[in-house]
Structure 1
Amino acid sequence: MNTLKKLFLHAPNVHVGGGLNLLQAFYEAAESSIDFEHVDIRAQAILKPGRAERHWVRPTLFSRLAAELRLRNRVKEGDLVLCFHGLVPFFPSKGKVTVFLQNRILLSSDSLKSYSLKTRVRLWGERFMLKSFAWRIDKFVVQTPSMAEQVRGFLGEKIPVVVCPFVLADVDQAETSTKKIYDFVYVASAEPHKNHQRLLAAWCLLAEQGLRPSLALTVPLETSLSVQIEDLKRTWNLNVSNLGRLSASEVCALYEQSGALIYPSITESLGLPLIEANSRQLPIIAAELDYVRDIVEPVQTFDPASRTSIARAVRRHLGSNEPTQVIHGPEVFLREVLR
């Protein structure tokens, strides 16, 4: 049957960050087309009411399983299920299933040791589900060519995958007259793959070299990373301001107050702050990784695994290049050995 009967939006666990921003954008465009929806109860204050039958999903195993069962029982032949949370349905579906895949971590066998045990177990399970049930999916939608390549590498060359990036339609432009308060800004939450640890290590290295550029962060204040940031500020006298979790309008204002975006994240499906900064013509200093080159042209790049590389990229952008090492002859080496 080719005629679409109903559109089911399945989006449990989408409640924060770029995923929630994209869900809001999609919902504003598609609200009149959606017939049934599962949405995370933690997004209750954000998502406006719509015409669709709505079921709130709590962040518990029982609530998630109940939503999966409800989805299996309600979807009929000819219906379309959009899994906005990036996971395949646990139960087979009678309708067509499209998965909007945003999490590169699920497409890799890399170590998860930097995550908590609870998170590691969840990610292992999600990777297993993706590998085991991908054959049930009619189409995967991703946002960049490198993400599509990674999907095929993980799930097989014949997997149906489409590249279709989208963001909020009304991205504000920068007000160039706004006073710059921060040299650099990094808009990111506290997950390990956001790579704050090496960014902060680079800032400590710069302080050791006598440079203290100002940096604005948006790490939630209730996290252990926030405490670590304050400890490093005191120890190294860093010029770092952690502003905590910000609203979309506050993030826009922060871009306008910043001289450049620094982006050390190890993995992203899109990297929304890169697009936001680029739309404001903000210089971008970012990891030399495929997801960055998919969408922007940074002014400086670095190895995200090296604090030295990050620090050197910052120095280059500030016009304060580190002197290169003087290479000596063997006579000088001999004098050093004998000294």
Structure 2
Amino acid sequence: MKTPRKLFFHAPNVHVGGGLNLLQAFYDAAQSSIDFEQLDVRAKACLKPGRAERHWVRPTLFSRLAAEWRLRHKVKPGDIVLCFHGLVPLFPLKGQVTVFLQNRILLSSDSLQSYPLKTRVRLWGERLMLRSFARRVEKFVVQTPSMAEQVRGFLGDKTPVVVCPFVLADVDQAETPVEKIYDFVYVASAEPHKNHQKLIAAWCLLAEQGLRPSLALTVPFDTALSFQIEELKRTWKLNLFNLGQLSPDGVCALYDQSSALIYPSTTESLGLPLIEANSRQLPIIAAELDYVRDIVEPVHTFDPTSRTSIARAVRRHLGSSEPTQAIHGPDVFLREIMQ
């Protein structure tokens, strides 16, 4: 008699942000099918009890290695292993391995200089691990066509990639209209690729031009970025409101209180706030990048590396576009030189 296939769910280091939201959505749907699971201990309060054999993985090298070794010994031929954390198993496994890739940074050779040293070392190691062990994977699952293209560009044209996006079920909008408190909202954590620096620089430029639209942010408190936001807010008298990290219900309420979503992130595997805001009919002003147009049609776009471009997109949305530069003849240029 054939032994039934088991599903091994491996998700260390998935404990915050969009990754945690997707984990919760998947787990609610799949927990009755999971036979063995390894989860990040920092997500413990967010996950329901399941029927599977469960192991909590701590954010330490020893605990992560122990989890990899446990997989090595538990997985049998025919078993299915879903690596939800986006990395290839450290040791060869006897079962069928599927990797859910959510982190575009792992698929790029771009510089990591904007990240802290510890993070740079980790990301460099994870990139190397992905390249070195990709042949152990039966298939990679990604959320968008542009992400699939990037996987093949990084790992080779013959890499098996499946595009299968999924999100949390929609949360109902408020039954009664909610007062719009903020002109713009940006739901994002404090990682460098979220590009808060350029966004805030654009808000400073707008203030210099006499415009001070309100902007709500969700940067975790007690981070270097949160302190910088408060300092620039005071210096430029900006209408910035950092609300800190919010619960999913808190994020939904924030969308209802906002007139538009602005999204300057330089890299995303999906961009959940884009989907969430779009489902609530919020206008979207976003970076002109592939990941954005994979899933939404923004009303205005900008170059995310330019504070001027971001500021101009904001002005266009507010109906306050700046005049274009007048072009002169060589006689005017000569007069300028001779003054």
TM bin, normalised by shorter chain, reads over 0.9
Instruction: State the superposition RMSD in angstroms.
Output: 1.2
CA deviations on 1:83-138 (whole Å, 9 max, x unpaired) are 00000000000000000000000000000000000000000000000000000100
Identity of aligned residues (%): 83
Q: Which residue of the partner structure matches residue 152 of structure 1?
A: 152
What's the CA shift for 1:336?
A: 0.6
Q: Distance in 2 between matches of 1:126 and 1:277?
A: 32
Q: Structure 2 length normalisation: TM-score?
A: 0.98
Q: Distance in 2 between matches of 1:67 and 1:2?
A: 27
Q: Distance in 2 between matches of 1:36 and 1:198?
A: 43
Structure 2 residue 32 is the aligned partner of structure 1 residue 28:
no
1:156-235 maps to which residues of 2 (within 5 A)? 156-173=156-173, 177-235=177-235
2:173 and 2:256 in contact (8 A); partners too: no
Q: Distance in 2 between matches of 1:75 and 1:29?
A: 22
Q: Aligned partner of 1:90: which letter?
A: L
Q: Which residue of the partner structure matches residue 275 of structure 1?
A: 275
| 3-state SS of 1:44 partner | helix
| 3-state SS of 1:166 partner | coil
What's the CA shift for 1:174?
A: 5.7
What's the CA shift for 1:176?
A: 6.8
CA deviations on 1:204-259 (whole Å, 9 max, x unpaired) are 00000000000000000010000000000010000000000100000000000000
| 3-state SS of 1:241 partner | strand
Q: Aligned partner of 1:60: which letter?
A: T
Q: Which residue of the partner structure matches residue 257 of structure 2?
A: 257
Q: Which residue of the partner structure matches residue 69 of structure 1?
A: 69
1:1-339 maps to which residues of 2 (within 5 A)? 5-173=5-173, 177-339=177-339
Q: Distance in 1 between matches of 2:270 and 2:49?
A: 28
Q: Distance in 2 between matches of 1:220 and 1:155?
A: 34
Aligned residues: 339
1:174 and 1:281 in contact (8 A); partners too: no
| 3-state SS of 1:253 partner | helix
In structure 1, stretches of 5+ residues that fail to align are none
What's the CA shift for 1:5?
A: 1.4
Cα 1:335–1:176 change in 2 (3 A) is farther
Further displaced range: 325-334 or 185-194: 325-334
Q: Distance in 1 between matches of 2:206 and 2:265?
A: 19
Cα 1:299–1:249 change in 2 (3 A) is same
Q: Structure 1 length normalisation: TM-score?
A: 0.98
Q: Distance in 1 between matches of 2:277 and 2:287?
A: 15
What's the CA shift for 1:283?
A: 0.2
Point out 4+ residue stretches in structure 1 off by more than 6 angstroms: none
What's the CA shift for 1:177?
A: 1.3
In structure 2, stretches of 5+ residues that fail to align are none
